[in-house]
């Protein structure tokens, strides 16, 4: 579906927060590499998707009411084989009901596990004074404590994207320390430029975008989870 | 509504000025404002008060509408409600601009906010462009016109030297205090403007005006908030390739968290966005009001630094060591100079023959007889390709500062095109005599070495920004 079609569906269903798969579709449409994912509505479906993918999988709760998935016990990683996947699915659904009995649960998203390397958070929002703003930061769970993030106003030029990365205290983690190879910085810059395009283009529809985490490695940058908040 | 720079011209260069709320009571603001206007720079002054009469040799008109010629600027010193009526009258009289010095608007609470709303409506309807309300006005240092409601500016009238720094302040009283502080420390201003509540003329309009003003070479902001952030950013981006902008923003701690549904929203504190916008537009951010003044002053006196390497010439190893720490914190470096350059210093009699001079170049003796050393070392360092600027670090018990040599050779040094700044201290009376002479030669003296380091860092920031935009 195109972005505008997705907005229509969400509006009809009275949702302000797009599902992970919807957000990823929009971002992917704009040239951001995303980790493929498929919605499983049952344990059997989850197992069959996992079999098709042929890799260990991650399962993530899919519910419009549950936005902090990890807090709700809604994320299970590295599941292999039919038994594990089915059990994982069931545990997530039960956990979700315990977390929020009123939540409408569609199922779980099934994704191939991505080889971990380094993590960044990339986002965009609309500031009441300055308009569209793009953010990048060293990611992971500690981002809200360490707050190693930098901002620039969209639309971004390539030089802005470079400078905002260099502003990060932990920039050298991305360029490689202790013999670790550098991440594909150009790929990160590409994501920043593309997210700048998205927040600029959909100025009436989108208010916030989060790509957290985005896994970065020497091979590239891949959005593992994404959220888009509508107006 | 976006103003054109032409619309602001009468605010800065009015020929005819009316004071609505003029008063014969000598201690009042209505008297003072008329008195200010009569000092200089204004062709005709019209006091206005329904009681009529006469003051300071001028007829007091009963209403602005009675004035026989078109008025460029009306300064309103009535109550808040009186100001609303006055604006309506100004509209009918065809007055172009007004400075509303009255307070009692949104800054006082909800009743004031309602009056401010009425004022906005009056402004929209009357087509008068207003500065304020709750502002002090404008001071034009070139024409020496005091278009403010404050007597404080008059205290430094005799010390005013017109220059290139234009100052936009959101705070009235503090802004004037900073202006006076600047004047007393050798900052040569072009214009000062106090914005008040900014319901009409606001930061971005003034920035655009000053950006186009040939008399303004450096623009400095003391700000609490910006009304039209994006517009300000866009205009600043166009101005900074030609003129430096330095801003001090107060209010960095978060008063209220942003309501956000995402990590990004939660992390994007409003101050963080301001500081990023400044960076992106090439605006130099000052972290204190003192550094705001000194950075503006240095930007108006010295060229940008094309790199971050500083040569230190000093008579005090101790102060040089302390200063090096500040330079390092400010992102500058004090590189060890090459053996060739070290030898040149010795060969050309730029240093005492008994030392080793790797940078800092420490003369170790504080002696007037050898003042040529300070000048020659400075010149050789600047002419080499090993430093991008020189900081002279001087302590003096007597009058050891080699001021005469630098004064005589000011042109010679200026031609090299790299900045020179002096820091250090001496007795108060010595400083009072020496410092103005250096300023005359165009070399800023900043007594506090930490502040001097920040000023040099600003020159360096300017240099790298210019390189970035001209690439």
Residue B130 in contact with residue B141, Cβ under 8 Å? no
* Least Cα separation, residue A178 to chain B (angstroms): 25
When CB atoms are compared, the residue of B233, B261, B264 closest to A130 is B233
The CA–CA distances, whole Å, from A216 to A183, A213, B265 equal: 6, 9, 22
Q: Which of A19, A20, A120, A123 to mutate to test the interface with B (most CBs of B within 10 A)?
A: A123
Q: Does any CB of chain A come closer than 8 Å to the CB of residue B280? A: yes
Identify the CA nearest to B317 among candidates B243, B390, B393, B263.
B393
pLDDT (tens digit, 0 to 9) for every residue of chain A, 231 residues total?
899 999 999 999 999 999 999 999 999 999 999 998 999 999 999 999 999 999 999 999 999 888 788 888 899 999 999 999 999 999 999 999 889 889 899 999 999 999 889 999 999 999 999 999 999 999 777 787 888 999 999 999 999 999 999 999 999 999 998 888 999 999 999 999 999 999 999 999 999 999 999 999 999 999 999 999 998
Q: Does any CB of chain A come closer than 8 Å to the CB of residue B432? A: no
DSSP B155: G
Q: Which of A67, A122, A125, A196 to mutate to test the interface with B (most CBs of B within 10 A)?
A: A125
DSSP A117: -
Residue B74 in contact with residue B64, Cβ under 8 Å? yes
- Average of pLDDT values for B412-423? 95
The CA–CA distances, whole Å, from B199 to B14, B80, B132, B162, B196 equal: 21, 14, 7, 30, 8
Q: In angstroms, rounded to a whole number, what is the distance separating the alpha carbons of residues B3 and A183?
A: 48
Average of per-residue pLDDT values in chain B: 92
Enumerate the β-bridge partners of residue B218.
B165
- Count of beta carbons in the 10 Å neighbourhood of residue A152: 24
Q: What is the pTM of this model?
A: 0.93
Enumerate the β-bridge partners of residue B309.
B333
Residue B56: which region, alpha, beta or left (left: phi > 0; alpha: psi -120 to 50)?
Answer: left
pLDDT tens digits, B168-178: 999 999 999 99
Binned at pLDDT 50, 70 and 90, residue B232 comes out as very high
Q: In angstroms, rounded to a whole number, what is the distance separating the alpha carbons of residues A174 and A150?
A: 14
- Count of beta carbons in the 10 Å neighbourhood of residue B237: 16
The string of DSSP letters for B287-345 reads SSHHHHHHHHHHHHHSPPPSSSBEEEEES-HHHHHHHHHHHHHTT-B-PPPPHHHHHHH
Helix/strand/coil for A125: strand
- Count of beta carbons in the 10 Å neighbourhood of residue B64: 25
Which chain B positions have a beta carbon within 8 Å of A135's beta carbon? 264, 267-268
CA dihedral A48, A52, A53, A57 (to 10 degrees): 20
Subunit contact B233:A149, Cβ cutoff 8 A: no
Q: Does any CB of chain A come closer than 8 Å to the CB of residue B251? A: no
Residue B14 in contact with residue B97, Cβ under 8 Å? yes
DSSP B262: S
The CA–CA distances, whole Å, from B111 to B80, B105, B116, B133 equal: 11, 8, 9, 15
When CB atoms are compared, the residue of B228, B267, B276 closest to A152 is B276
Phi and psi (nearest 5°) for B380?
-65, -40
Structure tokens that stand for B120 in this block: 């906005």
Q: Which residues contact B196 (CB under 8 A, 6 or more apart)?
A: B100, B131, B132, B133, B134, B135, B136, B170, B172
Q: Which of A119, A121, A127 to mutate to test the interface with B (most CBs of B within 10 A)?
A: A127
Q: In angstroms, rounded to a whole number, what is the distance separating the alpha carbons of residues A11 and A197?
A: 22
SS3 content of chain B, % helix, strand, coil (to 5): 45, 15, 35
Structure ipTM: 0.89
Helix/strand/coil for A167: coil
Q: In angstroms, rounded to a whole number, what is the distance separating the alpha carbons of residues B330 and B364?
A: 26
Q: In angstroms, rounded to a whole number, what is the distance separating the alpha carbons of residues B81 and B116?
A: 9
- Average of pLDDT values for B360-374? 76
Q: What percent of chain B has pLDDT over 90?
A: 77
Helix/strand/coil for B424: strand
Identify the CA nearest to A136 among candidates A153, A155, A151, A117.
A151
Query: Residue B360: is the preceding peptide bond cis (ω within 30°)?
Result: yes
Q: Does any CB of chain B come closer than 8 Å to the CB of residue A121? A: yes
pLDDT tens digits, B338-356: 999 999 999 998 998 877 7
Q: Which residue of B has its CA nearest to A231?
A: B261
């Amino acid at each position: 579906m195109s972005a505008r079609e997705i907005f229509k569906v969400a509006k009809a269903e009275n949702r302000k927060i797009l599902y992970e798969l919807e957000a990823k579709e929009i971002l992917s449409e704009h040239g951001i590499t995303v980790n493929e994912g498929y919605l499983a509505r049952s344990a059997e479906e989850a197992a069959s998707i996992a079999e098709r993918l042929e890799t260990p999988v991650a399962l993530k709760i899919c519910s419009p009411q549950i936005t902090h998935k990890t807090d709700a016990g809604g994320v299970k990683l590295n599941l292999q084989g039919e038994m594990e996947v089915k059990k994982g699915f069931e545990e997530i659904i039960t956990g979700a009901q315990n977390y929020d009995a009123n939540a409408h649960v569609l199922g779980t998203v099934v994704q191939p596990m991505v080889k971990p390397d380094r993590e960044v958070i990339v986002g965009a929002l609309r500031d009441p004074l300055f308009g569209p703003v793009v953010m990048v930061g060293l990611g992971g769970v500690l981002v809200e404590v360490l707050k190693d993030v930098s901002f620039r106003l969209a639309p971004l030029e390539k030089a802005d994207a470079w400078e905002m990365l260099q502003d990060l205290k932990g920039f050298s983690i991305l360029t490689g320390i202790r013999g670790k190879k550098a991440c594909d910085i150009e790929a990160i810059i590409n994501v920043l430029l593309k997210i700048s395009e998205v927040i600029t283009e959909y100025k009436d529809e989108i208010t916030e975008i989060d790509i957290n985490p985005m896994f970065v490695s020497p091979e590239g940058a891949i959005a593992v989870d994404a959220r888009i908040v509508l107006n | 509504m976006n103003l054109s720079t032409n619309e602001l011209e009468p605010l800065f260069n009015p020929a005819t000025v009316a004071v609505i709320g003029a008063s014969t009571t000598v201690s009042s603001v209505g008297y003072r404002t008329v008195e200010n206007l009569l000092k200089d720079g204004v062709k005709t002054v019209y006091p206005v008060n329904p009681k009529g009469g006469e003051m300071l040799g001028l007829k007091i008109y009963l209403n602005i509408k009675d004035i026989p010629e078109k008025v460029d600027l009306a300064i309103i010193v009535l109550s808040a409600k009186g100001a609303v009526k006055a604006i309506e009258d100004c509209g009918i009289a065809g007055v172009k601009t007004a400075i509303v010095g009255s307070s009692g608007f949104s800054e006082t609470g909800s009743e004031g906010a309602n009056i401010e709303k009425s004022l906005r409506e009056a402004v929209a309807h009357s087509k008068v462009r207003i500065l304020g309300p709750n502002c002090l006005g404008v001071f034009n240092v070139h024409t020496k016109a005091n278009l403010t409601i404050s007597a404080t500016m008059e205290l430094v009238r005799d010390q005013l030297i017109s220059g290139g720094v234009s100052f936009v302040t959101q705070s009235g009283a503090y802004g004037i205090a900073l202006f006076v502080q600047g004047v007393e420390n050798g900052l040569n201003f072009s214009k000062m403007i106090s914005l008040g509540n900014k319901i009409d003329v606001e930061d971005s309009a003034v920035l655009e005006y000053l950006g186009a003003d040939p008399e303004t070479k450096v623009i400095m902001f003391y700000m609490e908030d910006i009304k039209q952030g994006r517009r300000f950013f866009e205009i600043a981006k166009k101005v900074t390739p030609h003129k430096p902008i330095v801003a001090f923003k107060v209010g960095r701690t978060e008063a209220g968290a942003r309501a956000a549904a995402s990590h990004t929203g939660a992390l994007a504190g409003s101050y963080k966005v301001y500081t990023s916008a400044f960076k992106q537009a090439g605006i130099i951010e000052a972290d204190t009001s003192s550094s705001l003044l000194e950075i503006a002053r240095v930007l108006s006196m010295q060229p940008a630094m094309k790199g971050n390497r500083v040569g230190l010439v000093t008579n005090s190893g101790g102060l040089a060591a302390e200063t090096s720490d500040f330079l390092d914190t400010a992102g500058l470096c004090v590189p060890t100079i090459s053996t060739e350059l070290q030898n040149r210093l010795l060969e050309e009699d730029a240093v005492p023959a008994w030392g080793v001079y790797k940078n800092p170049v420490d003369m170790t003796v504080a002696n007037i007889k050898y003042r040529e050393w300070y000048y020659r070392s400075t010149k050789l360092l600047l002419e080499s390709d090993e430093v991008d600027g020189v900081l002279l670090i001087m302590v003096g018990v007597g009058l050891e500062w080699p001021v005469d040599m630098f004064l005589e050779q000011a042109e010679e040094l200026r031609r090299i095109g790299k900045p020179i700044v002096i820091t250090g201290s001496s007795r108060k009376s010595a400083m009072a005599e020496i410092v103005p002479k250096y300023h005359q030669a165009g070399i800023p003296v900043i007594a506090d070495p930490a502040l001097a380091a920040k000023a040099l860092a600003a020159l360096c920031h300017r240099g790298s920004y210019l390189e970035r935009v001209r690439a």
